[in-house]
Copies of this chain bind each other. A is one copy, B any other.
Amino acid sequence: MSRTVISNMLRDARIRPTPQRVAIYRMLKGTTSHPKAEVIYEAVKGDFPSLSLNTVYDTLQTFAESGLIRKLAMKENVSRYDGNAAPHGHFVCVRCGRVEDLRPSVDRELERINLLLKDRIDGRIIDSDYRFYGYCAECENETTWSDSKEDRRRHCSDHLNDT
């Protein structure tokens, strides 16, 4: 996604497209790994050495409030962020912590259900989050499981090097 396109998107959302903001948005749009703030910070810092973690938090909150991105609540109490703002479900591996998107067909199914259930729930719904927890294919196939948290993370590092 080009910087000019992003700039215009931000402007449309009445957010001033500063270089930092564009870079952060671009990074999020370019990954499906649902990174946390720290990871976004490290990634963007590469092109942008003066960046402050503070600015990352601020920017993410601004984006999330405008509905440009999605903030994901995790059980470890560390927020992760999703450049895909459309409501969609997630699979969370309880072993290595990776967060995966579901297949589009499943998302469509969930969206359909969402519409059906909407008026059977008290209160006005503005968003939803379908979450599945379990063991990802890789962790499931692993025969020798270590107890160490570090090892678990390393194990899925190919896909998770930015969590």
Contact = CB atoms under 8 A, between A and B. Distances in A.
A91 B121 contact: yes
Interface residues of A, number: 40
A122 B91 contact: yes
Contacts of A136: 122-123
B117 A109 contact: yes
Contacts of A93: 123
Chain A interface, DSSP helix/strand/loop, else mixed = mixed
A120 to B, nearest CB: 5
A132 B137 contact: no
A121 B103 contact: yes
Given A78-B77, A79-B77, A123 B128 contact: no
Interface stretch (A7-15, A19-27, A68-76): A68-76
B127 A129 contact: no
A125 B121 contact: no
Contacts of A103: 120-122
Interface in A34-91: 71, 73-75, 77-79, 91
A103 B122 CA distance: 9
A66 B100 CA distance: 25
A145 interface: no
Interface of A: 71, 73-75, 77-79, 91, 93-94, 100, 102-103, 105-106, 109-110, 113, 116-117, 120-137, 139-140
